[in-house]
């Protein structure tokens, strides 16, 4: 089994779509959801005027290769009404693979680790909530050491009252 970390975000009925995406992931026979980070309210990334987002990370285990996991996450996005018309625009749900075990991958459709992981706080901070000792595949660098080097700071606040189901999940 491979430990995988995903980033989820939404700014169209975000609570509904994030919960639906987590339920869909949890319903997969090939995926075992291990934990969910706290939720964060974040400013939109990419320069498009739009509503704020809610973002979180989740940890799961799977035997699927990353390309098949990508098919599952994109299928969930489609079922939840994700339409890719405006780059960085509003969306019902966005699911990105951040890390997948020690895998490093660069294909036309998928890059692992996610290219934004070391640039965007809304990806890195929730991941570190789940896995504070996570390391970058390849060089083994601690991801927690990268917090001070983030380029994009979108987090407005950590949402109170949203339980973290990921206590004890470690990489």
Distance, C-alpha 31 to centroid of its chain: 15
Check 32, 43, 82, 121 and give the catalytic one: 82
Cβ neighbours of residue 162 closer than 8 Å, sequence gap 6 or more: 38, 39
Strand-pairing partners, residue 32, are 61
94 a catalytic residue: yes
Concatenating the DSSP letter of every residue in 37-79 gives PPPEEE--SSS---PPEEEEEEEEEESS-HHHHHHHHHHHHHH
Catalytic hit among 94, 120, 121, 129: 94
Tokens at residue 109, please? Answer: 């459709």
Q: Rounded to an integer, what distance in angstroms lies between the CA atom of residue 149 and that of residue 157?
A: 19
Question: Phi/psi zone of residue 87: left (φ > 0), alpha (ψ -120 to 50 degrees), beta?
Answer: beta
Concerning whether 147 is annotated as a catalytic residue, the answer is no
Nearest alpha-carbon partner for 9 in 106, 98, 112: 98
Across the strands, what pairs with 7?
Answer: 57, 96
Query: Which is the catalytic residue, given 96, 120, 121, 129?
Result: 96
Q: Active site includes 96?
A: yes
Catalytic residue of the set 3, 91, 120, 121: 91
Catalytic positions: 82, 91, 94, 96
């Amino acid at each position: 089994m491979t430990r995988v970390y995903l980033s989820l975000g939404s700014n169209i009925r975000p609570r509904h779509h994030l919960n639906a995406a987590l339920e869909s992931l949890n319903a997969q026979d090939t995926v075992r959801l291990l934990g969910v980070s706290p939720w964060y309210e974040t400013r939109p990334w990419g320069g498009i005027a739009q509503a704020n987002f809610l973002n979180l990370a989740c940890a799961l285990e799977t035997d699927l290769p990353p390309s098949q996991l990508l098919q599952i996450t994109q299928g969930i996005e489609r079922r939840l009404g994700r339409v890719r018309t405006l780059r960085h625009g509003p969306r019902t749900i966005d699911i990105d693979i951040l890390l997948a075990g020690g895998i490093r991958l660069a294909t036309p459709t998928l890059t692992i680790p996610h290219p934004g992981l070391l640039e965007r706080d809304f990806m890195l901070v929730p991941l570190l909530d789940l896995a504070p000792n996570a390391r970058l595949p390849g060089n083994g660098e601690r991801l927690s050491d990268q917090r001070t080097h983030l380029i994009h700071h979108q987090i407005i606040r950590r949402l109170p009252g949203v339980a973290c189901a990921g206590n004890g999940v470690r990489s």
